[in-house]
Amino acid sequence: MAQQVPIAENLFTWPSDNPALIGGRSSDGRVVFPYRAHRLVGGVREELERVELPRRGTLWTFTTQRFRPPAPPYAGDDEQSFEPFAVGYVELPGVLRVEARLTEPDPAKLRIGQEMELRIVPFGTDADGNQTMIYAFAPADGGKGADHGSE
């Protein structure tokens, strides 16, 4: 039976009842995303600590993608099943802003400043027939209450 597998390792905790994005924290408190093993801190190469990022934040900005991105590299649905999607930066309070696909594709239902929460959602199919899973952010109120104007 086909399994659900993450689109990449070290991107989010999976499987998990309460998945989170994975970042890398250095001794100065700075967090990078996506996680990487080390970086230069004050001129010294430092191992980064794997940390789980906050699951909720606010929408900092967003845009939409109307046509299917060129494939490869795009590995999502095919020309027939493609649905326009939205992307944005979600500000995770006190940590950083992460770029993500948004579950709500309609720009009229998105608003800068609205509360968003992390979801791990089905994305595509890998070479072994497994369903790939990707991180995305969804309006925390399910989209309701975000209709009062983004223009």
Question: Is the backbone of residue 43 left (phi > 0), alpha (psi -120 to 50) or beta?
Answer: left
Sites for other proteins among residues 32-61 (CB under 8 A): 32-34, 60-61
Stretch that binds other proteins, among 29-37, 43-51, 114-122, 138-146 (CB under 8 A): 29-37
Place of tokens 């326009």: 84
Select from 14, 20, 30, 51 the one that contacts other proteins (CB under 8 A): 30
> What whole-number distance in Å separates Cα of residue 34 and Cα of residue 26?
13
Sites for other proteins among residues 90-149 (CB under 8 A): 91, 94-99, 101, 107, 112, 123-124, 132, 134
DSSP state string for 114-151: -EEEEEEEEEEE-TTSPEEEEEEEEETTTTTT--S---
Contacts of 129 (CB under 8 A, 6+ apart): 2
Select from 85, 137, 140, 146 the one that contacts other proteins (CB under 8 A): 85
Stretch that binds other proteins, among 5-13, 39-47, 114-122, 138-146 (CB under 8 A): 5-13
Place of tokens 């996680």: 35
**For residue 104, how many other CB atoms are within 10 A of its CB?**
22
Which CB sits closer to other proteins, 1 or 127? 127
| Distance in Å, CB of 75 to other proteins, minimum | 4
Q: What does the binding site for other proteins look like in residue numbers (CB under 8 A)? A: 7-8, 11, 30, 32-34, 60-67, 69-70, 72-76, 85-89, 91, 94-99, 101, 107, 112, 123-124, 132, 134, 151
